[in-house]
């Protein structure tokens, strides 16, 4: 922040008319401000968020993509969008849902045998070690179709989708325990736990249930282990958000609820609607659960199998003392454990207060067996006065709370007031309020739900954007607003329209903690992290035909696909495996075959398979879909789907008229290019390029490309000897193609070295 502030100050000073240096004269800055109607406050905000080209952001945010079923990755403070990760929904660019391995991941999310190709994502969570974000995995839930997804942050790809075996909807997920032992998922709308079982609404109290699932995460495998996961049966109170205990409260989890009235609305039956009946009582319940002990009980065989899944029934949970309730004021929403784990902060949507519960007081009441009553299912209820440390009136519609790096400082969203309240939960004091635009849902501070919040910035996730952006029709973009929280007063810095919605929660991690790979080990199936059965080495490309099954083992490297012709018979089942042999960073090739609805994104080292039935005779071009090189458009081939029993009548391709002069001209081009390559190589080897791993990779790749020219040179010389001008010329052209790629890499390496202060070596 210090650095940014300094920059900002010098800019402000500049615009006030003092002498400014270099290109940005005071006059021109002044002119821009005037022309664009900007204030000094605007300029300060711009200076705090602007990240110049070549520089990187400090934090990376993972936002729920709402109904898009995706995750949106953006950077803070610039608010530049970096990626959309396909999660519950096919994502064409990444081939997600269009190649075989990713189809399998999506198939994990089938319910009752049917594809569900959208998701209502709400809460992303980053894996934690000792309560701190470790940057290894990301989890996210689907509220509508109760599912959880696991994303590996080594490659930002979705690896697993699992379906909740007993819920019909969920909401209180995903939240992780301190060492990511479990990923928590709480139900939302109560329903019978058995699958495909009907009970009338008249039996709501008896047969409908809520619950919480604790998904066991196997960190080594990077997958959820469904067999070791379990659930806890809960009353049909609409369970809402959850949070895991940490520090002193580690081993416990907290889930609130609304509609503990168990009201069943029905205007059709002359009954007032849900909204009236579900907010009639003054309080709902927070569920307090000793998950560690619950896990032990399940391990000891005390669970009941429902739909093949371990469920600890309420009766057992009550008897064993792992489940308690505490009243919470009117229609609570957020439940957020403080970084030290000592307090749990709950906001009631219809109450101006936030309630600060004390874990110590809760434990004292449990130990003393001090309960004010039991709920209709026999769960002991701890009195609010025996559990609450303090209540603070913040404003209308408090929803969610996040924490600062400064002790006792919290930020709570006020939905109705459209404000963020900054307050001190130890002293019960409001410190500052800032208006946001408009109707904020969640808010998020950097690593703000971990044991070590990083402070600095806050993002307000506003439900309505209304007048903030150029109108784009009745459906407005979402508005994520960046707020500087480093000072005493909050400062609004930036409005980011998000064109994918509706995001609910977002988490942000220090960018330095992320260690994503730049390439895969050659032949990797990225969705399983294992070697791909279709992996193919250079020179081993082949087409294997067995009966009506045709399997292609191909490779991709700038700028050609091997093989370049695939011939099949109508009705054949075609599998095309492609391995990207590139080692250079960002040399991704895409692959598609016209009209067969397949697409693959093949990043360096990755192997991907696409599969389809060649059910129609015809000629179908296939090509690379990423602009990977100068000859990208030529990265093409033909799938020929022949009628059964077809015989060729013509056996030679259309001839070209190349001459000796053409061949000589090409040789001259080759020689000239070699001069450029030699000069670049001379520069690179004259400096300490070996100290730059990025350059070493580029240089290796460049020599790989150049190495290929040897065999090809032999080919054009052989053709020359036979006066076969066509082949002589074309093979010489191919030599030149490899030279171009070599030169391209070499020049990129040279630029990198020059810009990064490479030093001469003797």
CA distance 669 to 735: 10
Instruction: Judge residue 485's burial from the number of C-beta atoms within 10 Å of its C-beta, 0-12 exposed, 13-18 middle, 19 or more buried.
Output: buried
**171 vs 246, which CB is nearer to ligand CUK?**
171
Q: Report what 504 binds from ligand CUK, ligand CUA, none; CB cut-off 5-8 Å by kind.
A: ligand CUK
Q: Which does 441 bind (CB under 5 to 8 A by kind): ligand CUK, ligand CUA, none?
A: ligand CUK
Partner from ligand CUA, ligand CUK, none binding residue 635, C-beta < 5-8 Å depending on class = ligand CUA
- Look at residue 750 and give the partner it binds from ligand CUA, ligand CUK, none, a contact being a CB closer than 5 to 8 Å depending on partner kind: none
Residue found under tokens 């389809």: 612
Q: Which is nearer to ligand CUK, 46 or 464 (CB)?
A: 464
Residue 505 beta carbon to ligand CUK: minimum distance, rounded to whole angstroms:
5
In the list ligand CUA, ligand CUK, none, the entry touching 589 (Cβ below 5 to 8 angstroms by class) is ligand CUA
Residue among 241 and 743 whose Cβ is closer to ligand CUK? 241
Site string for ligand CUK, 372-401 (x = CB under 6 A): ---------------------------xx-
Regarding 140 and contact with ligand CUK (CB under 6 A), the answer is no
Contacts (CB under 6 A) with ligand CUK, residues 485-504:
504
311 belongs to the binding site for ligand CUA (CB under 6 A):
no
Residue whose CB is less far from ligand CUA, 297 or 624: 624
Tokens of 449: 């739900």
Among 628, 641, 695, 740, binds ligand CUA (CB under 6 A): 628
Q: What is the per-residue binding string for ligand CUA in 541-580, x denoting contact by CB under 6 A?
A: ----------------------------------------
Distance CA 582, CA 605 (A): 6
Contact 597, 556 (CB under 8 A): no
Choice between 171 and 223, CB closer to ligand CUK: 171
Q: Which two tokens stand for residue 351?
A: 């109450």
Phi, psi of 494 (to 5 degrees): -160, 140
635 burial level (CB within 10 Å; 0-12, 13-18, 19+): buried
Contact status: 342 vs ligand CUK (CB under 6 A): no
Sequence-distant (≥ 6) Cβ neighbours of residue 597 within 8 angstroms: 98, 612
Measured N-to-C along each axis, helices 725-755 and 660-686 cross at an angle, to the nearest 10 degrees, of 20
Q: Is-contact 366 382, C-beta < 8 A?
A: yes
From the CB of 416, what's the least distance to ligand CUK, in Å? 13
From the CB of residue 222, how many other CB atoms can be counted at a distance below 10 Å?
A: 18
Residue 680 dihedral angles phi and psi, to the nearest 5°: -65, -45
CB of 548 to ligand CUK, least distance (A): 49
The reply to whether 147 sits near ligand CUK by the rule CB under 6 A is no
Binding mask 581-600 for ligand CUA (x = CB under 6 A): --------x-----------
Instruction: Check residue 690 and report its DSSP letter.
Output: G
Binds ligand CUA (CB under 6 A): choice among 157, 284, 525, 626 = 626
603 binds ligand CUA (CB under 6 A): no
Residues 6+ apart with CB under 8 A from 297: 303, 312, 316, 317, 320, 322
Positions in 532-551 near ligand CUK (CB under 6 A): none
Binding mask 400-429 for ligand CUK (x = CB under 6 A): x-----------------------------
The closest alpha carbon to 490, from 514, 455, 517, belongs to 455
Token code pair at residue 611:
């599969």
Instruction: With CA atoms as reference, report the closest residue to 321 among 387, 260, 371, 262.
Output: 371
CB of 164 to ligand CUK, least distance (A): 16
Here's the x/- map for ligand CUK, 436-475, by CB under 6 A: it reads as -----xx---------------------------------
Q: Look at strands 309-312 and 353-358 and give their pairing.
A: unpaired
Residue 481: both structure tokens together: 């607003």
Residue whose CB is nearest to ligand CUK in the complex, by number = 441
Q: Give the number of residues in contact with ligand CUA, rule: CB under 6 A.
A: 7
The pair of three-digit structure tokens given for residue 635, joined into one six-digit string: 């990265």
Q: Distance (Å, rounded) from C-alpha 674 to C-alpha 656?
A: 27
Strands 542-546 and 223-234: unpaired
Q: Which is nearer to ligand CUK, 399 or 568 (CB)?
A: 399
Q: Which does 591 bind (CB under 5 to 8 A by kind): ligand CUK, ligand CUA, none?
A: none
Choosing from 73, 138, 624, 735, the residue that interacts with ligand CUA (CB under 6 A) is: 624
Q: Which does 287 bind (CB under 5 to 8 A by kind): ligand CUA, ligand CUK, none?
A: none
DSSP 335-387: EEE-TTSSEEEEEETTSSEEEEEEHHHHHHHHHHT--SEE-TT--EE--GGGT
Site for ligand CUA (CB under 6 A): which residue of 292, 302, 513, 632? Answer: 632
Contacts of 74 (CB under 8 A, 6+ apart): 60, 61, 63, 80, 81, 82, 480, 496
Binder of ligand CUK out of 103, 159, 171, 750 (CB under 6 A): 171
Asked if 444 interacts with ligand CUA (CB under 6 A), we say: no
Interaction of residue 11 with ligand CUA, rule CB under 6 A: no
CB of 587 to ligand CUA, least distance (A): 8
- Give, in order, the Cα–Cα distances in Å from 55 to each of 7, 58, 587, 707, 742: 14, 10, 22, 35, 27
Q: Can residue 639 be called a binding residue for ligand CUA (CB under 6 A)? A: no
Interface residues with ligand CUA (CB under 6 A)? 589, 624, 626-628, 632, 635
Interface residues with ligand CUK (CB under 6 A)? 122-123, 171, 241, 333, 399-400, 441-442, 504-505
């Amino acid at each position: 922040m210090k650095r940014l502030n300094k920059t900002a100050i010098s800019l402000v000073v500049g615009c006030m008319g003092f002498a400014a240096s270099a290109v940005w004269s005071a006059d021109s800055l002044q002119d821009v401000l005037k022309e664009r109607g900007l204030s000094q406050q605007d300029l300060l905000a711009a200076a705090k968020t602007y990240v110049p080209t070549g520089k990187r952001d400090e934090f990376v945010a993972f936002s729920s993509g709402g109904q898009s079923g995706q995750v949106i990755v953006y950077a803070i403070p610039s608010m530049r969008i970096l990626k959309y990760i396909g999660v519950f929904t096919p994502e064409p660019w990444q081939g997600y849902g269009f190649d075989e391995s990713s189809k399998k991941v999506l198939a994990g999310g089938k319910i009752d045998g049917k594809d569900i190709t959208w998701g209502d994502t709400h809460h992303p969570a980053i894996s934690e070690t000792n309560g701190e974000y470790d940057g290894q995995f990301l989890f996210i839930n689907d509220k509508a179709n109760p599912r959880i997804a696991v994303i590996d942050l080594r490659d930002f790809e979705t690896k697993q989708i699992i379906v909740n075996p007993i819920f019909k909807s969920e909401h209180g997920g995903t939240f992780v325990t301190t060492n990511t032992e479990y990923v928590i998922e709480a139900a939302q709308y109560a329903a019978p736990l058995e699958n495909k079982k009907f009970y009338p609404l008249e039996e709501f109290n008896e047969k409908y249930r809520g619950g919480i699932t604790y998904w066991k995460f196997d960190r080594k495998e990077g997958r959820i282990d469904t067999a070791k996961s379990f659930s806890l049966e809960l009353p049909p109170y609409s369970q809402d958000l959850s949070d895991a205990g940490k520090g002193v409260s580690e081993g416990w989890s907290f889930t609130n609820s609304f509609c503990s009235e168990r009201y069943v609305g029905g205007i059709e039956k002359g009954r007032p609607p849900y909204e009236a009946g579900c907010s009639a009582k003054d309080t709902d319940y927070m569920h307090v659960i000793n998950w560690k002990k619950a896990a032990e009980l399940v391990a000891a065989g005390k669970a009941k199998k429902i739909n093949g899944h371990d469920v600890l029934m309420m009766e057992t949970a009550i008897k064993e003392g792992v489940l308690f309730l505490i009243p919470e004021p009117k229609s609570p929403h957020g439940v957020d454990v403080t970084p030290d784990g000592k307090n749990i902060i709950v906001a009631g949507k219809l109450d101006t207060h936030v309630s600060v519960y004390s874990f110590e007081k809760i434990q004292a009441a449990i130990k003393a067996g001090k309960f004010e009553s039991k709920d209709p299912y026999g769960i002991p209820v701890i009195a609010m006065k025996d559990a609450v440390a303090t209540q603070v009136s913040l404003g209308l519609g408090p929803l969610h709370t996040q924490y600062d790096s400064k002790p006792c400082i919290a930020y709570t969203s006020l939905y109705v007031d459209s404000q963020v309240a900054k307050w001190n939960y130890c002293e019960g004091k409001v410190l500052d309020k800032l208006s946001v635009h408009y109707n904020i849902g969640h808010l998020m501070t950097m690593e703000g739900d971990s044991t070590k919040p990083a402070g600095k910035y806050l993002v307000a996730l506003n439900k309505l954007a209304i007048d903030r952006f150029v109108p784009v029709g009745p459906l407005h973009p979402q508005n994520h607003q960046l707020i500087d929280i480093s000072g005493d007063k909050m400062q609004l810095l930036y409005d980011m329209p998000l064109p994918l919605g509706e995001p609910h929660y977002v988490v942000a991690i220090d960018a330095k903690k992320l260690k994503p790979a730049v390439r895969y080990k050659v032949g990797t199936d990225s969705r399983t992290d294992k070697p791909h059965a279709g992996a193919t080495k250079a020179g081993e490309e082949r087409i294997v035909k067995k009966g009506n099954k045709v399997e292609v083992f191909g490779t991709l490297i700038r700028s050609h696909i091997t093989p370049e012709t695939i011939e099949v018979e109508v009705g054949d089942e075609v599998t095309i495996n492609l391995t990207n042999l590139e080692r250079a960073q960002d040399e991704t090739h895409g692959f598609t075959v016209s009209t067969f609805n397949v697409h693959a994104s093949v990043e360096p080292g990755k192997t991907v398979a696409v599969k389809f039935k060649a059910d129609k005779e015809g000629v179908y071009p296939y090509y690379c879909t990423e602009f990977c090189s100068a000859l990208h458009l030529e990265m093409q081939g033909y799938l020929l789907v022949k009628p059964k029993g077809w015989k060729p009548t013509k056996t030679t391709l259309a001839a070209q008229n190349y001459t000796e002069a053409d061949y000589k001209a090409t040789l001259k081009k080759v020689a000239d290019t070699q001069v450029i390559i030699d000069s670049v190589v001379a520069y690179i080897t004259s400096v300490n390029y070996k100290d730059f791993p990025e350059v070493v990779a580029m240089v290796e790749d460049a020599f790989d490309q150049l190495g290929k020219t040897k065999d090809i040179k032999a080919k054009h010389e052989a053709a020359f000897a036979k006066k076969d001008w066509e082949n002589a010329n074309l093979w010489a052209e191919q030599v030149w193609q490899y030279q171009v790629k070599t030169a391209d890499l070499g020049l990129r390496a040279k630029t990198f070295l020059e810009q990064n202060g490479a030093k001469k070596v003797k």
